[in-house]
Amino acid sequence: MGTNGAQFSGFKPFYQFASPTRVIAGVDLIESTGFELAKEGAERPLIVTDEVIRETGLVDTVAAGVTGGGLEVAGTFDAVPQDSDTEVVARCAEAARDAGADSFLAVGGGSVMDTAKAANVLFTHGGTVRDWEGILTLPRDRDGLGKPLPLAPLGAIPTTAGTGSEASFAAVVKDRSEGLKVEIADIALFPRLAILDPAATATLPAPIAASTGMDALTHAIEGYVSTEWNPHADAFALQAIRMIRDNLERAVADTGDDEARGNMLVAACLAIQPSGSGAIGATHSMSHPCGGQYGVPHGVANAINLPWVIEYNAAGGEEIADRYRVISEVMDVGSGGAGTKVGKALADELRALTGRLGLPRRLSEVGVPEDGIPRLVEGAMGDGCTLVNAREPTEEDFAELYRKAL
């Protein structure tokens, strides 16, 4: 990692790209859930969701789709909170064992999907979330050197268009005792199936559609400027940005716009695809402790922090700025001038978009105090997302970014 942007030049000397999740997208797909999940080896899935989604009736529709495909619903775990944690994951894994489940089906947003993914690890391998914390930590078939041992079949029906967890190799939950976010990331965590049906987002309130949409946009932008960029990831990220440009505000303005909401589901799924190559960066590093310490919803924190990180990164060299220049062109933002001007123009457009969506634009608006900055900086510096940021922030850099965002 460096500050001169040279990582964006020429032929990439090495990269790897994986996208093993089978994604099906379209209308009226929920009724075929059982048929599709059976292809992945499931017979008795535990449905993982939350109480709000269950009350909408969506889970009943999904359950009918499961049984209609010849499978049996082992049970429903609906105790996932908005910001899930290690204890909920443990209870979910235990519920799957008690119900005699052989697979999982997540119906919900990022918290629900990450809970199901982490619970699958405990269900299959035992232990606690903290036992498996980190990257590539799961048991492997050859003394830790081979492929990770497979987990139970997992399908996902996202009800928000944001995290892209239905097609990522990571699960992030909170450890409430320590006030931090814990990540498990490994190839085996990729869900085997993702069903993207706009009917699943029909009851999604506009503010949540807005915040989760900004989360998806953050993934796409950070993925494109990550030091782990590659041509495969670029294609996914840029198409995600195009689709978010054309559909996010529509999806927020009209909850009945199935076309816009369906396109946002696809965009969020595309945006996370470079996750194995870095669909993350300093914005995520800043936002994780905001959520872990002050309960700021992840998409809201990203929407607030992203413009400041863009300005910081774009000042790090013209090659980094050129990446933002491409994004600006895709988003129909003026992209002329030096790197600092490019970064400022794009950042200002994102601030304006955040405002049009009705989201907060300052951390102070969502309960982050000025005296909390030192602890936030500590969390950001220790966050793995920082490792692939286009520039390498210091503690002083993060402190200044937080002060600006406050």
The answer to whether 283 and 223 have CB atoms below 8 angstroms apart is no
Phi-psi region of 179 (alpha: psi -120 to 50; beta: other; left: phi over 0): left
- Band the pLDDT of 2: cuts 50, 70, 90: very low
Cα 104 off chain centre by: 19
What integer is the mean pLDDT of 49-62?
96
Query: Which pLDDT value is given to residue 338?
Result: 72
> What's the chain's average pLDDT?
93
Structure tokens belonging to residue 258: 């199935």
Q: What are the distances in angstroms from CA 300 to CA 32, 103, 285, 380, 398?
A: 34, 32, 14, 17, 18
pLDDT at 143 over 90: no
CB 386 within 8 A of CB 283: no
Q: Per mean pLDDT, which range of 86-100, 146-160, 250-264, 275-289 is the poorest?
A: 275-289
Look at 278 and 13; give whichever has higher pLDDT.
Answer: 13
Cα–Cα distance, 63 to 77 (Å, whole number): 13
The residue ranges of every structural domain in the chain are 6-16+206-405, 28-196
- Is pLDDT of 8 > 70? no
Instruction: Determine the Cα–Cα distance for residues 377 and 173; give it in Å rounded to an integer.
Output: 20
- Homologous superfamily (CATH) of 6-16+206-405 is Dehydroquinate synthase-like - alpha domain (1.20.1090.10)
The answer to whether 82 and 54 are in contact (CB under 8 A) is: no
Among 224, 227, 256, 230, which residue's Cα sits nearest to residue 242? Answer: 224
Strand 75-77, strand 22-25: pairing: unpaired
CA–CA separation, 104 and 152 (whole Å):
7
pLDDT tens digit sequence for 175-210: 988 888 899 999 999 999 999 999 999 999 999 999
Class of 28-196 per CATH? alpha beta
Give DSSP secondary structure letters for 198-254. Answer: GGGGTT--HHHHHHHHHHHHHHHHHHHHSTT--HHHHHHHHHHHHHHHHHHHHHHH-
Per residue in 120-134, pLDDT tens? 999 999 999 999 999
Is the pLDDT at 403 greater than 60? The verdict is yes
Note whether 93 and 107 are within 8 A (CB).
no
* pLDDT confidence of residue 5: 39
Contact criterion met (CB below 8 Å) for 125 and 132: yes
Within 13 A of 339's CA, how many CA atoms are on the CB side?
16
What pLDDT, in 10s, does the model give residues 281-313? 999 999 999 998 999 999 999 999 999 999 999
| Phi, psi (deg, nearest 5) at residue 179 | 65, 40
What's the pLDDT score for residue 16?
82
pLDDT on residue 13: 85
pLDDT at 4: 38
Q: How far is it, in rounded angstroms, from Cα 226 to Cα 164? A: 17
For residue 237, the model assigns a pLDDT of 95
Low-confidence winner among 155-169, 237-251, 266-280 (lowest mean pLDDT): 266-280
* pLDDT (mean) for 63-82: 97
Q: Identify the DSSP state of 5.
A: -
Torsion angles phi and psi, residue 372, rounded to 5 = -90, -5
**Sheet of 180-185, strand order:** 134-135, 180-185, 170-175
Nearest to 194 by CA among 21, 58, 40: 21
Q: Render pLDDT for 208-230 as a digit per residue (tens, 0 to 9).
A: 999 999 999 999 999 999 998 99
pLDDT above 70 (res 383): yes
pLDDT of residue 236: 95
Using alpha carbons, select from 168, 169, 271, 170 the residue that is nearest to residue 226.
271
CA 160 to chain centre: 11
256 by Cβ neighbours in 10 Å (0-12 / 13-18 / 19+) ranks as exposed
Q: Do the beta carbons of residue 112 and residue 48 sit within 8 Å?
A: yes
Domain 6-16+206-405 matches domain 28-196 at the CATH topology level: no
3 state DSSP class of 52: helix
Q: How many CB atoms lie within 10 A of CB 44?
A: 16
Give how far Cα 232 sits from Cα of 16, 25, 152, 346, Å. 9, 20, 28, 24
**Is the confidence at residue 83, as pLDDT, over 90?**
no
Report pTM: 0.93
Q: Closest by alpha carbon to 349, among 301, 320, 307?
A: 307
pLDDT of residue 277: 65
Tokens 């989760």, residue located: 212
